[in-house]
Structure 1
Amino acid sequence: MFHFLIPRFIHHTTLQCRNALSLFFNPRYFSHQSDNNLTLSNLVNSCNLSPETSLKLSKRLKLVKNPNGPDAVIQLFRNYGLSDSQLSKLVKKRPFLLLSDPQNTLLPKLKFLQSIGVSTTDFPKILIGNTSFLSANLENNLIPRYQIVRSLVRDDKEVVSALKHGSWIFYNDSMVNDSVPNIEILRKLGVPQRYVSLLVCYFPSVAFNKHSVFVEAVDSVIEMGFNPLQLNFVLALRVIVSMDKENWESKFKIYAKWGWSRDVCLLAFRKRPQCMLMSEKCINKAMSFLVKDAGHTPEDIAKFPVILSRNLEKVLVPRFAVVKILKSSGLKKSGLTLGSFTLISGEKFLEKYVTPFQKDLPLLLDAYKDAYKAHKTD
């Protein structure tokens, strides 16, 4: 019955697809096989599969020995935290998961992930991020790869973090194989394990990159004067590996428009590697405010490049408004470097630059709030 229903649903509207998906996950439809077929059609349609894939899937579903198999697969994923919309994404990326044996093929892999600390909150991101994980062999592929990743970090919690930021690492032979010599280079240079773990957990595309590319990046970072014992070493490594030469050179041109020479750019990069990852729009927006509105020189900004990544509307504009009032009133003149009031927390800023002066300037807090609102609506 199922394969005759597929064409009827292929051309449904988006709204009908959404209704069909909600229909599929209504528990009362799990009791009758004819209804199961109908709702499976709706699920396939909601995923916008091609007619060819839909027809092939419907024919193979018809041959499944256990008629409740597809429903058992769906229910298993629901038990591990996948919502209706997440199930739709998963099936869209890998429709033939519906044909899997839930108990013998899928469940052992899900239990393995659970055993290393993957929570129901983590499962959707990891599984949708790499659906190939579910088709890999547990004993011959997944566990050996887990052991490699585990050897690079401090505990299973960090393995899970690496999976969430790059679930493909469990299914990519070349990446996993390159990671061991890559990390070995860092350890020989004396890079602390906490920074190695940061690279593996949050920037796996860097740690698992091609070895020759990684070696070249390490050499470049050392040549630029970064200390392997400091955090900025791995942050700079992340930038160099992530950017091609054309993109790297384009950032020098953008900053040059605001008066930064190449040497000044490199100085700022050594202080704050992330400044070279900012988009042209963000750089221009921050520089325009700091130079034109706040009246600071490009050289001043280069001494505190982290200021460029501070939120313009929520942090820079309201804080500069307060500092301007304090200066003009003569209540605060010393200790007002760029870093002193832009790099601290919001709570600390209010405690240091607003609360002590409210007796003399009762509207200072309002000015702080109004500056944020005014710039937000510009």
Structure 2
Amino acid sequence: MHHFLLARLTTRSPHFGVLCHNAILFFNSRTLSVSNTKHHKGDTFNSFSIINSCGLSPKTALEFSKRLELKNPDGANAVIDLLGNYGFSETQLCSLVKKLPSVLLSNPDKTLLPKLKFFRSIGFSPTDLPTFLVRKPTFLKSSLEKTIRPCYVVIRSLVRCDKEVVSTLKNGLWHFNSRNVVNNSLPNIEALRQLGLPQGSISLLVANFPSVTFMKHAGFVEAVEKVKEMGFDPLKTSFVMALKAFADISEASWKSKLEVLEKCGWSSDISLLAFKKHPQFMVSSESKILKIMSFLTKDVGLAPEEIARCPALLKCNLEKTVIPRFAVIKILKRKGLIKSDLKISTFIKISEKVFLEKYVTRFQSYEPLVLAAYKGQKSN
């Protein structure tokens, strides 16, 4: 695993040589012989070079080089080998060390290995685990027995399987703290169960929107009350989507967006009906809503009421989805290849792959302009 580090060192710019020279003035780095059988005999490197190759500042690199020298510099080799055995690429290793230099000070067998084994045991794949730990390296600092495992037990009690636990961990942005998980998530989910939400909806919330699941209970209850007041059915997944929206939108932002929609021609009743149909569109920024509404009314010629029938439009990407798809549909309608009264939701709410198969590939032999229009709009 360390060969790539040597390669990076030997191919660096002249600035790197200056950096090493300056560091040597302060730190008498020791060359380490690598005894691991995975390495070629005679290969050598030093701890300062390992850290510096990952893009740390000279000051930080020097600090950790000294700490490694005092502790056990050979341990860094073992850490690199262990992470490599668990699927870390060269780039991922450098990213991890840059974010968490202290990982090189870890005891590979007693500290790192049990955590890596645990995450693999609950369903992290060999490719997913390195990506996950590079994004959230603090998991490698947390105690397995005091924090990680207890939190796993709590999350597992909220969902249906380990796969959903993995999804929860991958989607969560919170600082991993067992007390917060227990204190917030358990009463939050209990409140939903009392309302009669099915386990499928609860799993949807926990696995996909952990930031809502683990928010403070008072704020969670407030969001739940708003969803109830709007008349959402607890038995439908739209209840969860509305809860996510209210958890993300402040009262002031909600009122401001309603005012924006009113300026675009929607009455308050139309806005609320659209929200019930597709709650997540209200999470979009005001500027995004205005841009899409302007395009649809001025360029496409849609009436505000038509847009309200497919509020998912306001959550789409204008340049990558809305404009290219409407360009294709316009051509197909003009040539009589599809119905003139085709519902917007029919071609907006499908994946790009399905859209291409259904409205581009299918017709390009009849109308070559279709593919050209789609590609042209996508590249603009």
> Is the TM-score greater than 0.5?
yes
Counterpart position of 2:180: 174
Write out per-residue CA displacement over residues 65-98 of structure 1, whole angstroms, 9 at most, x where no aligned residue: x442111011111111222222222222221121
Does the CA contact (< 8 Å) of 2:205 and 2:212 recur in 1? yes
Specify which of 55, 61, 70 is matched with residue 62 of structure 2. 55
Counterpart position of 1:161: 167
Counterpart position of 1:233: 239
Letter in 2 for 1:36: F
Does the CA contact (< 8 Å) of 1:72 and 1:102 recur in 2? yes
Letter in 2 for 1:372: Y
Question: 1:78, 1:146 → 2: CA distance?
Answer: 25
Letter in 1 for 2:151: R
Residues 120 and 169 from structure 1, CA distance in 2 versus in 1: closer, same or farther, beyond 3 angstroms? farther
- In structure 1, stretches of 5+ residues that fail to align are 1-8
Question: 2:100, 2:352 → 1: CA distance?
Answer: 45
With structure 2 as the length reference, what TM-score do the two structures score? 0.81
Question: 1:347, 1:130 → 2: CA distance?
Answer: 31
Task: Please list, as runs of the form range in 1=range in 2, the aligned pairs for 1:47-196 lying within 5 A after superposition.
Answer: 47-64=54-71, 66-166=72-172, 168=174, 170-196=176-202
How many percent of aligned residue pairs carry the same amino acid?
A: 51
Deviation at 1:335, TM superposition (A): 4.4
Letter in 1 for 2:199: Q
Question: 2:330, 2:307 → 1: CA distance?
Answer: 17
Does the CA contact (< 8 Å) of 1:145 and 1:176 recur in 2? yes
Counterpart position of 2:269: 263
Residues 49 and 225 from structure 1, CA distance in 2 versus in 1: closer, same or farther, beyond 3 angstroms? same
Question: 2:61, 2:231 → 1: CA distance?
Answer: 57
Specify which of 24, 36, 42 is matched with residue 45 of structure 2. 36
Question: 2:174, 2:40 → 1: CA distance?
Answer: 33
User: Which structure shows the bigger proportion of residues in helix conformation?
Assistant: 1
Question: 1:310, 1:88 → 2: CA distance?
Answer: 35
Write out per-residue CA displacement over residues 45-76 of structure 1, whole angstroms, 9 at most, x where no aligned residue: 24444555433322221122x44211101111
Question: 1:321, 1:265 → 2: CA distance?
Answer: 27
Does the CA contact (< 8 Å) of 1:122 and 1:164 recur in 2? no
Question: 2:136, 2:360 → 1: CA distance?
Answer: 49
Counterpart position of 1:287: 293
Write out per-residue CA displacement over residues 116-137 of structure 1, whole angstroms, 9 at most, x where no aligned residue: 1111212123222332322322
Letter in 2 for 1:248: W
Question: 1:69, 1:351 → 2: CA distance?
Answer: 54
- In structure 2, stretches of 5+ residues that fail to align are 1-8, 21-31
- Is 2:374 aligned against 1:368? no
Does the CA contact (< 8 Å) of 2:281 and 2:311 recur in 1? yes
Write out per-residue CA displacement over residues 142-165 of structure 1, whole angstroms, 9 at most, x where no aligned residue: 211110010000011111111111
Letter in 1 for 2:83: F
Question: 2:358, 2:111 → 1: CA distance?
Answer: 60
Residues 347 and 174 from structure 1, CA distance in 2 versus in 1: closer, same or farther, beyond 3 angstroms? closer
Question: 1:233, 1:50 → 2: CA distance?
Answer: 48
Question: 1:154, 1:337 → 2: CA distance?
Answer: 36
- What is the DSSP-based 3-state SS (H/G/I as helix, E as strand, rest coil) of the residue aligned with 1:365? coil
Letter in 2 for 1:370: A
Deviation at 1:220, TM superposition (A): 0.8
> How many correspondences in the alignment?
355
With structure 1 as the length reference, what TM-score do the two structures score? 0.81
Residues 68 and 271 from structure 1, CA distance in 2 versus in 1: closer, same or farther, beyond 3 angstroms? same
- What is the DSSP-based 3-state SS (H/G/I as helix, E as strand, rest coil) of the residue aligned with 2:127? coil
> Bigger CA drift: 117-126 or 188-197?
117-126
Does the CA contact (< 8 Å) of 1:314 and 1:372 recur in 2? no
Does the CA contact (< 8 Å) of 2:257 and 2:282 recur in 1? yes
Letter in 1 for 2:148: L
Residues 288 and 106 from structure 1, CA distance in 2 versus in 1: closer, same or farther, beyond 3 angstroms? same
Does the CA contact (< 8 Å) of 2:196 and 2:234 recur in 1? yes
Does the CA contact (< 8 Å) of 2:48 and 2:62 recur in 1? no
Question: 1:210, 1:13 → 2: CA distance?
Answer: 50
Question: 1:307, 1:114 → 2: CA distance?
Answer: 39
Residues 316 and 365 from structure 1, CA distance in 2 versus in 1: closer, same or farther, beyond 3 angstroms? farther
Deviation at 1:339, TM superposition (A): 3.0
